[in-house]
Chains A and B, each alone.
Chain A
Amino acid sequence: MPSYKLTYFNGRGTAEIVRLVFAAAGTEYEDVRLEQDQWPELKPNTPMGQLPILEMDGTMLCQSNSIARYIAKLAGLAGKTPLDQARVDMVMDGMVDMGNKFAYEIYYEKDEDKKAEKKKDYVEKYVPQFFSSLNKLASDGGYFAGDELTLADIAFYNMTTMVNPYLEQPLSLDGFPKLQKVEDNVTSNPGIAKWLKERPETPY
């Protein structure tokens, strides 16, 4: 088996989805966390000047979702059929949209009044509508594709928990019973449960 080295900063951020997939897959990897002052030297030696990167067998991959999909595929967590894989991909992309909307409209907004208004809109309108769509896509058993845990379920859990600390209260899954099941399936996966207990506490 190749040796995997994941490099990111000391935070969850865009690397966490990869770490969660490694955990669910039970695949060993080196979890490298850079200090900010180590980054300038490495940056020109990365494919696109960004982190995370994954190194294995002399190859470097970048783009967190591409890395996550690659590892998930090898572990059978990316969807069993081409259509299931497409379902996984569309949910992953939807979660990225949800995260980006939060980042660009709220997190980076400097005007406090605008920020508060956008946050209210996000929590009261956008997320419930989006979760309603996602709830329809999930199975009764709490899986977005097939009847086993996939990268899509992990992506849902990862993004909602990523956004929650920045809100007054965690996003509610009330009225979305299948999404609650998705979350339960993710957190009760043995590899993920172990990682959630052991992972470093970080500000982001």
Chain B
Amino acid sequence: MAPKYRLIYFNLRARAEPTRLLFAAAGLQYEDVRIRRDTEWPALKPNTPMGQVPVLEVDGVTICQSNAIARYVAKETGLAGKTNLEQAQVDMLVDGMGDLRGKQAAIRKASEDKKDQCKEELAAFAPNFLRRYEELSGPHAGHLVGDSLTWADLEFYDVMAKVLMYLPGILDNLPKLAKVMDTVPANKGVADWLAKRPETPH
């Protein structure tokens, strides 16, 4: 029987990866569809809600917008936060991470002559940002919100894995955040996924 969930994206991590990490962490089956931008995307595009991927197909409904998809899957997998308040805290931390993700992605997208400037912008932005996140991080070490794995931890891991490539020591004096980087891959489903996921440029 076909899995209930069908995630469609390009053959990249990028905006689909947090959702893939959620499925992996919960051991929830899904179809991980990776389309070719040149041959397959033009035909699919008009059939998506907003002309973009990723999309998630479930029960005859198509959802777009990566955070909307991730939040839905987080709820399906019990990783969205245990109370309304925790869910709001998870949401706000993920929203904030969009800024860090953007600064990091800018480096990749920049033309060669602008890359150094983008790297400097990341280096200027990240310390204060992460210091605040260290303070916002809840009392249970290794989890940003509550006492167990949430979407916020997975999102953080995904973004920071890239940021650490440019700023390797940036979590040295931020013990709670550093612990999240240990806790996430200690989840068996995540570890299995990290080991077997396709190698992609980003």
**Which residues of A line the B interface, CB within 8 A?**
47-49, 59, 61-63, 65-67, 69-70, 73-74, 82-83, 85-87, 89-90, 92-94, 129-130, 133, 136-137
- The docked-state distance in angstroms from the alpha carbon of A59 to that of B84 is 13
Q: How many residues of B contact A (CB 8 A)?
A: 30
Chain A's nearest CB lies how many Å from the CB of B70?
9
The contact string, 1 if C-beta is below 8 Å from chain A, for chain B 144-184, is 00000000000000000000000000000000000000000
Return the CB mask of B96-139 against A: 1 if under 8 Å, else 0: 10000000000000000000000000000000110010001000
Interface membership of B40, Cβ < 8 A? no
Q: Is the CB of A93 within 8 A of B67?
A: yes
Contact B59–A130 (Cβ < 8 Å): no
Instruction: Given the known inter-chain contacts A73-B84, A94-B65, please indicate yes or no for A83 contacting B72, CB distance below 8 A.
Output: yes
Let me know if B58 is at the binding interface, CB within 8 A: yes
Contact of A70 among B49, B50, B75, B84 (CB under 8 A): B84
B91 and A59 contact, CB distance less than 8 A: no
State which of B67, B89, B132 has its C-beta within 8 Å of the C-beta of A61: B89
User: Is the beta-carbon distance between B50 and A94 smaller than 8 angstroms?
Assistant: yes
Which residues of chain A are within 8 angstroms of B32 by Cβ–Cβ distance? none
**A63-B91 in contact (CB<8A):** yes
Q: For the A-B complex with A90-B63, A90-B69, A129-B51 known, give 15 more contacts whose Cβ atoms are closer than 8 Å.
A: A61-B88, A62-B96, A63-B96, A65-B95, A70-B87, A82-B72, A82-B75, A83-B58, A85-B71, A86-B56, A86-B68, A89-B65, A89-B72, A92-B68, A133-B51
B158 vs chain A, min Cβ distance (A): 18
Complex CA gap A107/B132 in Å reads 29
| Cross-chain contact A90 with B65 (CB below 8 angstroms) | yes
In the bound complex, do residue A66 and residue B88 qualify as a contact, i.e. CB atoms below 8 Å apart? yes
The answer for the CA separation of A129 and B48 in the assembled complex, in Å, is 13
In the bound complex, how far is the Cα of B129 from the Cα of A129, in angstroms? 36
Q: B58 and A66: CB pair below 8 A?
A: no
Complex: A62 Cα to B99 Cα, angstroms: 14
Top 4 A-B pairs, shortest CB-CB distance? A89-B68, A66-B91, A93-B65, A70-B88
Are A137 and B72 closer than 8 Å at their CB atoms?
no
Given contact pairs A48-B96, A74-B84, A90 touches B49 in the complex (Cβ within 8 A) = yes
A63 to chain B, nearest CB (A): 4
Given A48-B96, A93-B67, A130-B50, the answer on whether A86 and B89 have CB atoms closer than 8 Å is no
Asked if B76 is at the interface (CB within 8 A of a chain A CB), the reply is yes
**When chains A and B are docked, how far (Å) is the Cα of A1 from the Cα of B85?**
14
Min CB distance, B19 to chain A, in Å? Answer: 12
Q: Is B22's CB within 8 Å of the partner chain A?
A: no
Residue of A nearest to B98 (CB): A63
Report if A48-B132 is in contact (Cβ < 8 Å); known contacts: A69-B91, A73-B84, A94-B65: yes
Contact between A89 and B49, CB atoms less than 8 A apart: no
Q: Give which listed residue, B50, B85, B87, B136, contacts A133 with CB less than 8 A.
A: B50
For window 184-202 of B, CB contacts with A under 8 Å fall at none
- A89 and B64 CA atoms in complex are apart in Å by 9
Instruction: Judge if B2 is at the interface, Cβ distance under 8 Å.
Output: no
Q: If A47-B132, A129-B51, A130-B50 touch, does A83 touch B61 (CB 8 Å cutoff)? A: yes
